Structure 1
């Protein structure tokens, strides 16, 4: 039933869509339509996508990093940053809905320590008290930014304290610290890690954020956390992440591009709700009102998730996050990392391998072996891969906006649940 690739008409494509103020299916306003794209169109798109994968991805070292989390609350060692900075010309821009109140996705902050996101300037005494003088017993992660400690504020709020590496206080690190502070201070959303405040004094650079207790998505896909994530849970996580990115792109006062969407930057709560973390590479998007269509900037991101058009032109738009999200979708359904350096050549770049299997009619063979090869899983897998194929298109103008990704994923989940009932 699911051995052959289904026509894209299996995905419902509503003509109109009203994005919800909270993640509730009943909040969506849709009217059904059907896509007319056929097998040849999908194959042609896949060939176009496949042609850019090898040239764009620089594989990480051969060291196996499956059993440690280098990016909990921070960028890992596979983070990529170019040294070039260029000025860019105009390009076609993505339509965005503006004028929506910033708080449409806002969540009430339960901490009595904070009045506005990221507004608190902590003292070193408060940080020492919260972390018991940076006790090794409270260390919960290590990333490119530095060390992360679990802490507790005086009002009882549990926090993650990100302490920058003192040996790396240079221009780049300082820029990342400022970027994260600026980005986190502007956002508040259920699916974004909440920022409580920061400390910048002497040789200390510290960010205090919400503590999310259940590790990273990557750890769960590697089964480090024990039980296997069901496909239903993976769909929920994908929708959570899509909501978070949509909020950043559409509902903030000025659109924010995350630039480092990846599984190790997605933290899970005990109820498996996803929260996007690490805004060290975040940038404000182009200002449409002034006629700008992209931001010209040095390339930053993570190998395997990098938008090839951004990598080639240094022109950054929200569609770079869409590309990374497409890679994440493939990662969710296959369980594999974007680059599997130890696999045979044809399987080394996971998205290219999975998309080829999908267009050849053998999508079920890429399903995470920890998941059951059932009819329901097979059909959902094909629809997710079709969305991923659109997201990783080599030309950003052909990628969907994140709001559209959320819409499609909602319909996939609805159909999937109906098949299970």
Structure 2
């Protein structure tokens, strides 16, 4: 059976799809994707990794410089077209002017909304946000404020408005990076781009509204309920699909550079969508023999790749490192840096990996989760994958494609562990896909 992870880049003529996340295909029953074989294959390397692991955290959790705040294979399930219209490409490359942008006009939105495909005006933005009413504000970030707005055709969008008082060069770079990246990508697990506008001192980006808050909010139980480990594993799989797509399945691969729980938005049925491309960079061109991009360090303290911090060499494996931190965050519920904890527990990934290597993985499980056999099994396998992602040297880290394969096999193994008598689907994605279609 052909692996659903067989690499194949999409051409401009490929059909655009946005498939629902389905349960594992029969291909995942193959021993090729068995976590047990994966675990045994890597078990011998754990001790070697552990020896070098203790020293890697001194630099990787240091805050960045002051100006640095802050899918898969041939299966249609994992791919989404990277094709964009000529108009969309042109929109992201226009020269600077007093008024420019791509529209979300309430009057002329096309039924099939291509990323950033039609023009709009500042008057329209004022109208749909009620002049940026505080009651419409849903968030605040380094770039600026975010507002919820409803267009006349009923489409609900998020309007990101850049800060005016801090109209520095780096914000302009982030703005251009985000619109250029968003105009090139389309995937079920990436926020959808509707348009942008740059007029006088206003910079606006309009993306789809994702109604269920951020992953970090749910890990903090801000929304009143605890995410079970099944949902957390599904979210990790969604994120791995999105990053693999960025790394492998568009014409010019992209490094996100800011993978973190507050940049992962959740839909009402807990589909994950990766957001915020202000730090994104085009990956090195492997065809030309390039192995990395030399660039100023950007990212978020706690998630930063220590090798990138030391060498200023950015690769796709920097996203893999951040994803490893995210995996630890998912199973522990803790933030990457916890200043209120005692020193030995302050850096969550270091603390969790030490406990895991010592054979005490269960002690790091989020105390709000049940210590049932299925959760214990999932915890150990997820932490083993996290250990690989957090390897000090990028050459020792898996690809995001491989991370997705391992996570799929973990979910398969956990489903098999659940007894028929108390069966509760470890992944609710198949139920969601039949009752709720996005």
If the TM-score is normalised by the length of the shorter chain, which range does it land in? Answer: 0.7 to 0.9
TM norm structure 1: 0.83
The answer to whether the 8 Å contact 1:124/1:199 transfers is: yes
Q: 2:5 maps to which residue?
A: 18
Cα offset for 1:416? 1.0
Number of aligned positions between the proteins: 376
Partner of 1:339: 337
Q: In the TM superposition, what whole-angstrom CA distance separates every residue of 1:45-85 from its partner, at most 9, and x where no partner exists?
A: 123223111222126xxxxxxxxxxxxxxxxxxxx45669x
Deviation at 1:99, TM superposition (A): 11
Matches within 5 A, 1:16-415: 18=5, 22=19, 23-24=21-22, 25-26=24-25, 28=27, 31-33=30-32, 34-35=37-38, 36-37=40-41, 41-58=45-62, 80-81=64-65, 104-106=79-81, 112=110, 115-415=113-413
SS of equivalent to 2:224: coil
Deviation at 1:107, TM superposition (A): 10
State the distance in 2 between where 1:349 and 1:331 align.
Answer: 11
Is the 1:160–1:210 Cα contact (8 Å) retained in structure 2?
Answer: yes
Q: Deviations over 1:364-389 (max 9, x none)?
A: 00000000111111111000000000
Output the CA distance in 2 between the equivalents of 1:97 and 1:104.
6
Structure 2 gap segments, 5+ residues each? 8-16, 85-103, 420-438
Q: What's the CA shift string for 1:376-406, capped at 9, x where partnerless?
A: 1111100000000000101001110001100
The whole-number CA distance in structure 2 between the counterparts of 1:43 and 1:251 is: 34
Give 1:116 deviation, angstroms.
2.1
Provide the secondary structure at the position in 2 that maps to 1:120. coil
CA gap of 1:116–1:172, structure 2 versus 1, over 3 A, is: same
Superposed CA offset, 1:200-233 (max 9, x none): 0100001000000000000000000111000000
CA distance in 2, matches of 1:100, 1:171: 42
- Determine which structure has greater relative contact order: mean sequence separation of CA pairs < 8 Å that are 6+ residues apart, divided by chain length: 1
Distance 1:274 1:305, change over 3 A: same
Q: Within 2, Cα distance between the matches of 1:39 and 1:335?
A: 25
TM-score (norm 2): 0.80
Does the 8 Å contact 2:5/2:72 carry over to 1? no
1:89-130 deviation digits (Å, cap 9, x = unpaired): xxxxxxx999999x9414999963664212334310110111
Distance in structure 2 (CA, Å) of the matches to 1:331 and 1:287: 32
In 2, Cα distance between equivalents of 1:269 and 1:357: 33
Write the distance in 2 (CA, Å) between the matches of 1:99 and 1:368: 36
Distance between the aligned counterparts of 2:152 and 2:268, measured in 1?
Answer: 23
1:15–1:30 Cα contact (<8 Å) kept: no
2-side partners of 1:81 and 1:301: how far apart? 10
The structural deviation recorded for 1:300 is 0.3
